[in-house]
Structure 1
Amino acid sequence: MPGEPAAVATLDFGAGNEDGPKSESNSESESLQTLERALLIADYHAGYEAGLRYERGVDVPSNAAERRERLFSLIERTSPDRLVVLGDLMHSIGDPGGAERGELEYLFESEPLQSLAVTVVKGNHDGAIETWLGADADASAAAALSSSSSSPSSPTSLTITPGDGIALGDGSVGVCHGHTWPSREVLESDVLCLGHEHPCVRVEDEVGGGRVEQVWLRGRADPAAFREHPGLDHDALPAWMTNDNVPSPQVVVVPAFNELVGGTWVNVAGQSFLSPFLPDGVADGEAYLLDGTRLGPYEAV
Structure 2
Amino acid sequence: QLRAKYLIILGDVKHEVPGMSFRELKQIPKFFEAVKDVKIFIARGNHDVGLEDILPSYVSLHGSRGFRMQEYGFFHGHAWPSKLLTRCDYLFMGHLQPAVEFVDSFGFRSIEQVWLKGRLNREKVKEKYKTKKVGKLKLLILPSFNKLSGSLILNRTSPSELLGPVISRGFAELEKFDVHLLDGTYLGKLGSINFKPESA
Distance 1:173 1:210, change over 3 A: same
| 1:265 aligned partner | 153
Shift of 1:299: 2.6
* 2: CA distance, partners of 1:107 / 1:268: 34
- Is the Cα contact below 8 Å between 2:102 and 2:109 reproduced in 1? yes
Deviations 1:92-126 (A, max 9, x none): 1233221111111221222xx12111111110000
Q: TM-score, normalised by structure 2?
A: 0.86
| 2:143 aligned partner | 255
Rg comparison, structure with higher value: 1
| 1:194 aligned partner | 93
Distance 1:267 1:300, change over 3 A: farther
- Find out whether 1:282 has 2:183 as its counterpart: no
Shift of 1:269: 5.2
- Is the Cα contact below 8 Å between 2:29 and 2:56 reproduced in 1? no
Distance 1:299 1:261, change over 3 A: farther
Runs of 4+ in 1 over 3 A off after TM superposition: 224-229
* 1: CA distance, partners of 2:167 / 2:179: 14
- Is the Cα contact below 8 Å between 1:225 and 1:277 reproduced in 2? no
| 2:55 aligned partner | 133
Deviations 1:75-100 (A, max 9, x none): x3x22111110101111123322111
Distance 1:202 1:114, change over 3 A: same
Distance 1:109 1:210, change over 3 A: same
Higher mean C-alpha deviation, range 209-218 or range 271-280? 271-280
Deviations 1:36-94 (A, max 9, x none): xxxxxxxxxxxxxxxxxxxxxxxxxxxxxxxxxxxxxxxx3x22111110101111123
In structure 1, list runs of 5 or more residues that go unmatched: 1-75, 136-156, 241-246
Shift of 1:220: 1.6
In structure 2, list runs of 5 or more residues that go unmatched: 194-200
Distance 1:86 1:99, change over 3 A: same
* 2: CA distance, partners of 1:184 / 1:132: 29
SS of equivalent to 2:158: coil
* 1: CA distance, partners of 2:20 / 2:144: 20
- Find out whether 1:85 has 2:5 as its counterpart: no
* 1: CA distance, partners of 2:121 / 2:15: 31
SS of equivalent to 1:226: helix
| 2:188 aligned partner | 296
Q: TM-score, normalised by structure 1?
A: 0.58
Letter in 1 for 2:125: F
- Is the Cα contact below 8 Å between 1:173 and 1:190 reproduced in 2? yes
Q: Please, what is the CA RMSD of the aligned residues? A: 1.9
Distance 1:292 1:238, change over 3 A: farther
Identical positions, percent: 28
* 2: CA distance, partners of 1:130 / 1:270: 35
* 1: CA distance, partners of 2:40 / 2:18: 22
Deviations 1:13-45 (A, max 9, x none): xxxxxxxxxxxxxxxxxxxxxxxxxxxxxxxxx
| 1:117 aligned partner | 39
| 1:212 aligned partner | 111
* 1: CA distance, partners of 2:157 / 2:39: 41
Letter in 2 for 1:274: L
| 2:196 aligned partner | none
| 1:239 aligned partner | 133
* 2: CA distance, partners of 1:178 / 1:127: 15
Shift of 1:248: 3.0
Letter in 1 for 2:166: F
